Amino acid sequence: MSTQPAARPAPEKPSAVYRSPTTGAAWVAVIGLECHVQLATRTKLFCGCEYRFGAPANSITCPVCTAQPGVLPVLNREALALAVRVALAIGATVPERSKFDRKHYFYCDLPKGYQISQYDQPFCHGGGLTLASGQRIRLARIHLEEDAGKAIHDRGDMTLVDLNRAGVPLVEAVSEADIETAAEAVEYLGALKEILQYTGASDCDMEKGELRCDVNISVRQPAEPWRTKVEVKNLNSFRHVAAAIEHELARQVEVYETGGSIRQETRLFDPERGVTRAMRSKESAHDYRYFAEPDLPAFRVDAAFRERARGAIPELPASRRARYAAEYGLSDKDCAALTAERVVADFFEAAARLSERPRECANWIQNELFRMVGEAESGYAHFGEIPLKPHDLAEVVRLVGAGTIQNAAGRTLLGAMARTGRSARILVQELGLEQVSDASQIEAWCRAVLAEKPQIVADVRAGKPNALNALLGPVMKASGGKANAALVRATLERLVRETA
């Protein structure tokens, strides 16, 4: 739940218009996002418990994160450092003084009956992200807070509570309502996710709940004031964010056009039906009875702390994309694909440097390594799980570039290297992948195919040179895919001329 004051009006810009399917009237969406991001620290925000996703229920707890009487929280310095790093990367202002507050609400997975969060003095404010169109999505604030536990409601008439997640450090990034379409929302989320991953602040694995999103949305007609907003909570994929926005936009327009009114409420998205449904009335800040956390003093983020955080920020995606285009001559599409995740960008740069063939490395990563991710037979859920190093890819690229092996053999080689962990040179010999460039052997394969395909030979002689392409496949098949393709073509052309 956001703790920001009412969002400032968005700057004047051409509005993205939604046309009512019923009346054809123009409507404009007003959208803001609240993203809850789990920080990649070893321990929780206010205690020494290590957090591991998937650990047995209630096995990672202590008196602090289960709120036993008399315990005191101690701020995790690494969590603050990661949070400040993110703030600086998006151009936010980090004031020297900040504090924590108690946010009171009652739920079974919140053992204290309140959440330690930040209200009126968050650790940063401002900043923003620029979309490809040039549209600037401003950030109102980012604040630090502890996560709640997890309530499990799918056990019939019982609710089970797992407090392993209680106390895990979160940052909540609250955008201004500068977004007007589902596509803009998804692009903004992608840009924010890139920053979080590049800075090392979070892995942002949405399947593990490391990035969760709430959407605030209202609709208005052009040139009129903002209307009542609705919050759609706990969206855990970009696809669900887009679908929830599209449904809620259509729902609100239909309500207004049929004479109804929109309540300020919290809704949930049903991904199976593609609709939102009411959850509860929307709380306001006063409902939470905020007051300053008495067990944690206000803390300072001095200039030295900020500079250490700034020094830990790597080259960010936008800068890398521009450099890849300038240095390597890659297309915008290639640059975007290679920089979407830091693990991919780092892998690409290392392989390009080692092989001195950046374009070939870019192609192999996108065509082969990306294909491995998600394949049932490979079992790699993420790029970082592929057991290959940059020097492995660089060696394959060099072997193909030198004509030692064919492209098809290179694909076979990469898969074998990932499965076995053995070097490219050894596997080329063991698997018999080395390209055949022996002229007499290639001529023998070509003569055999020409004898079997007299009609194609006749077509070539009749002035249809492209018919020769139909001979290349059979020759390559006869060679087991190892024949030098350029030498095969040259040999076929020569033999056809000689027998004319």
Helix (H, G, I), strand (E, B) or coil at 278: strand
In a domain, 115, yes or no: yes
pLDDT exceeds 70 at position 11 = no
The reported pLDDT for the residue numbered 406 is: 84
The reported pLDDT for the residue numbered 500 is: 57
Backbone angles phi, psi at 211, to 5 degrees: -140, 115
In a domain, 12, yes or no: no
Same domain for 443 and 367: no
Same domain for 467 and 364: no
In a domain, 9, yes or no: no
Same domain for 320 and 285: no
Domain boundary among 247, 279, 305: 305
Same domain for 292 and 248: yes
Same domain for 220 and 72: yes
Residues contacting 89, CB < 8 A, separation 6+: 195, 198, 199, 313, 316
- The 3-class secondary structure across 183-203, one letter per residue, is HHHHHHHHHHHHHHHHCCCCC
CB atoms within 10 A of CB 292: 14
Same domain for 161 and 82: yes
Average pLDDT over residues 120-128: 96
Same domain for 203 and 103: yes
Same domain for 213 and 67: yes
In a domain, 97, yes or no: yes
In a domain, 11, yes or no: no
In a domain, 5, yes or no: no
Quick one: pLDDT band at residue 75, thresholds 50, 70, 90? very high
In a 10 Å sphere around its CB, with 0-12 CB exposed, 13-18 middle and 19+ buried, how is residue 103 labelled? buried
pTM of the model: 0.83
Same domain for 131 and 189: yes
Nearest Cα residue to 52 out of 42, 62, 67: 42
Instruction: Report the domain count for the chain.
Output: 3
Residues contacting 499, CB < 8 A, separation 6+: 450, 457
In a domain, 300, yes or no: yes
Same domain for 321 and 289: no
In a domain, 1, yes or no: no
**Domain housing 351:** 315-431
pLDDT exceeds 60 at position 152 = yes
Domain boundary among 377, 399, 431: 431
Same domain for 342 and 479: no
The reported pLDDT for the residue numbered 9 is: 47
Same domain for 126 and 163: yes
Where b means 16+ CB within 10 Å and e means fewer, 191-205 reads bbbbbbbbbbbbbbe
The reported pLDDT for the residue numbered 97 is: 96
